[in-house]
Amino acid sequence: MNPSSESVLSIEGATCQGCVRRIRAALEGLVSDPETVRVDLDRQQVELPAGVDADEAARRVSDAGYPATPTDAAGAGSDDQARPDRDGSAQGDSEQGGSDQGPAKEARSEARASSGEQDVIELAISGATCSSCVSTIEKAMKSVPGVRHAHMNLADQTATARGKADPDALIKAISSAGYGARVIEDPDRADAERDREEAAAFRTMMVKMAFSLGLGAVMMVWGMGFGSMMVSEDNRLTWLVFGGLTLLVLVFTGGHYYTGAWKAFRHHNANMDTLIALGTGTAWLYSMVVVLFPELLPAMARHVYFEASAMIIGLINLGQALEMRAKGNTSQAIRRLLDLRAKTARVIRDGEEQDLPVEQVRVDDHIRVRPGEKLPVDGEIIEGSTRIDESMLTGEAMPVNKSEGDSVSAGTINSQGSIVYRATRVGSDTALAQIISLVKKAQGSKPAIGRLADDISAVFVPTVMLIAVATALVWFNVGPEPRAVHMLVAATTVLIIACPCALGLATPMSVMVGVGKAAEYGALIRQGDALQTAGKLDLIVLDKTGTITRGKPTVTHIEPAGDQQEDELLALAAGIERHSEHPLAEAIVRKADEDGVEARSVSDFEALNGKGVIGRYRNQALRLGNRRWLSGEGIDLAGLDSAAERITKDAGTPLFLALDDRAIGVLGVADALKDDSIDAIRRFHDAGLRVVMVTGDIEATARAIARQTGIDEVRAEVLPEDKARIVEEFRQQGYKVGMVGDGINDAPALAAADVGFAIGTGTDVAIESAAITLMRGSLHGVVDAIEISRATVRNIHQNLFGAFIYNSLGIPVAAGLLYPIWGVLLSPIIAGAAMSMSSVTVVTNANRLRLFRTSRHTQANSEGTK
């Protein structure tokens, strides 16, 4: 590959910002500035700057643990360019309150389309019941040529493959491993179909459960009340009939466990089905030997366990049915989001209005929306004005005024007034569709704590089988009489009670509920690792403009020097700033328009990052910028010190204006605090976090804002490229750092943090720099996400503790640990019930998260009841 051009690596296994840091660290020395290396976790690609040897880079990244290969870099996408901030920070489009719907968005979409990104194949899986099944399915998928990454979500029975693989080959590989699979063509239809299938499966399971438990109960009552569980000449025929009926139970109500075990065996695997099939099958075979050939066993060992086999199958079916019913509740967040969508749209075509299914709406269609109706797609108002209820997307309770030229989003509600708007994004491109996609993806992601459970589960089933064999050998060789009976009971009980279904569900169930709960509070979590790490943060770094403040500054002071006039000063400032799109520039130009001041004609405009702007007015150099820059240019600003001090005391930013080498005045531009910033920072402190503000603004202004809000530490006059360095500095001090910014200009700092939070709006949800995107521009969303993270991780720990303790204590007891002390040997029936109920308990505990309320909402509710 030509090292003189930009190049791209395709990688495997990168899942979090920690992976990003390790990849960049591996490229140190090869790349002059590792921060220029862009790692796209979604596409599993690394974009290298020009001049880098791609083959050597691939070798280093592979050595770091992420298999990499060079690919064609043509058309590789890049993020929008950030505008340099006058005070040294950077200001992205999202701070303007815009929705990223213009040329930059289109360019980014085109870049992605031409980058040759990997295909994503989604499959609906059937037959998976435990984490061992997950491991088997993922292994089967990875064996298919072209698959670079494979992941299965046990909670919603879906699997995702990334790469250039044949879907039919994936289905064949999964089928040969013993599971069913089909390609998901339409996710919405697949969700509805899965709901129908689960409802039907629930009814089937309940019927099977009733038949199995009913027969088991009859045999138990007959054996204990009218006959005996010991085979004799008098009851052999009866037990033979019961044995035949039990076989029917095993085949028709538990046959899927046996076929699953057989398929796993054929592929040298073992899973939950293996344990169930071995346990119940052994009990039935032993009982049949007792009935058919009693003379082969001593009289004390002629005990049958037909009722145990039937009741174990029944109890496991009951547990899976209850588990299925409880799992359905975890996807309620997705269902609520799906319910926001309009089903039809009133489209104006050829001068006529017609109601069409929303799927038939095209870009640039004109759509009429009447009061009380949902908006079907994203667009821009071209006729009328109204108030739009955006609470379902942004969490803001008050409707927002909208008029011609304003953007609107699908799923929001037109509160009043009839409007006509032009469709700009339809189908899967709408903001609501992106939100649903992000939530679904995050619900299927796997945090590090979940991967630990998978690693354990991968060896758990074979280990249990060895324990069962060892248990059988011990009981057969040193156990009391009847040894064969004790051996069978102990080994069967070990196999049944050790089924790792609870272990496999512990993490994904909590993640599904936690991600959905975060979405309800306006926080879109893109990665499972972010959900886990956010709760561990102990330091938050905040950008100032657009994060703590409104991001829409206004001119508060105009202080001329000498005999200069205010209008002349404003006219010169507006003349140079009208060439800029920066928010500070817009504030100055807007002030001139409001005061009726005509901007002067300025040529040769140039913006200097972190300094200011320069141009020429009547053959003189006209500069507008910060003190450090103008002082460095040899301009004496001493006469403006008192004016600048007044500006900074009011938390404003002084911008000095100079003509050639003479200072002619200073303008004060202030960005007001957001209404809830002070309360949000107080919540950070209540949550035990240290708060640091990093800004390019001058020291005095930054400290004034810090005093108003209660921020602990200020890093002022920082250039945009230094923010990532400061974040890394805090991390090296041992802090777990969260970075909050606008998601575009703060991209390096967001990537450098343990968790990046992108402050955005409901229509700006595709920010790739951050692990968590907030749908509204409030810092309360960051605290909400942290509290939800802590609650979710706590819930996962509870689930894992229950699953591990259950197996850790259950297996020794099942093996007969208590028998020498109290003569207690656990019944296989009790083991089957306990195993099933453990899964139900885990799922029920995960559903408790649905009742979680953040501290802000809890406080608001308590105040409302006073």
Phi and psi torsions of 715, nearest 5°? -120, 105
CA separation for the pair 620, 623 (Å, rounded): 10
Q: What is the dihedral of CA 746, 752, 755, 761, to 10 degrees?
A: 10
Assess contact for 847 and 327: CB atoms under 8 A.
no
State the amino acid at position 131 in one-letter form.
Answer: S
CA separation for the pair 461, 449 (Å, rounded): 20
Residue entry with tokens 């591996």: 26
Buried b (16+ CB within 10 A) or exposed e, 71-91: bebeebbebbebbbbbbbbbb
Phi and psi torsions of 733, nearest 5°? -80, 0
Residue entry with tokens 């606008």: 742
- For 341, which DSSP code? S
Residue 619: count other Cβ atoms within 10 Å of its Cβ: 7
CA separation for the pair 428, 814 (Å, rounded): 52
Residue entry with tokens 């790469």: 163
CA separation for the pair 792, 518 (Å, rounded): 10
One DSSP character per residue, 616-657 reads EETTEEEEEE-HHHHHHTT---GGGHHHHHHHHHTTEEEEEE
CA separation for the pair 529, 526 (Å, rounded): 9
Structure tokens that stand for 300 in this block: 């004390």
Count how many residues are written for the chain.
866
Structure tokens that stand for 283 in this block: 């009990």
Q: What is the dihedral of CA 630, 635, 639, 642, to 10 degrees?
A: 20
Structure tokens that stand for 761 in this block: 């709006």
Assess contact for 668 and 645: CB atoms under 8 A.
no
CA separation for the pair 612, 84 (Å, rounded): 9
Annotated catalytic residue 543: yes
Assess contact for 331 and 508: CB atoms under 8 A.
no
559 contacts: CB under 8 Å, gap ≥ 6: 640, 643, 646, 647, 665, 666, 667, 668
Which H helix or E strand runs over 667?
strand 662-670
Which H helix or E strand runs over 235?
none
Buried b (16+ CB within 10 A) or exposed e, 258-289: bebbebbeeeebbbbbbbbbbbbbbbbebbbe
Assess contact for 46 and 23: CB atoms under 8 A.
yes
CA separation for the pair 826, 693 (Å, rounded): 61
Residue entry with tokens 């039919």: 168
Degrees to nearest 5, angle at CA 429 with 427 and 432: 85
Q: What is the dihedral of CA 464, 469, 473, 474, to 10 degrees?
A: 0
628 contacts: CB under 8 Å, gap ≥ 6: 611, 717
CA separation for the pair 653, 122 (Å, rounded): 51
100, 156, 378, 543: the active-site residue: 543
Q: Where are the alpha helices (DSSP H) in 115-177?
A: 131-142, 167-176
Task: Report the candidate in 360, 486, 341, 510 with the shortest Cα–Cα distance to residue 410.
Answer: 341
- What separation, in Å, do the N-terminal and C-terminal C-alpha atoms of the chain show? 70
CA separation for the pair 682, 705 (Å, rounded): 14
Residues with catalytic roles: 543
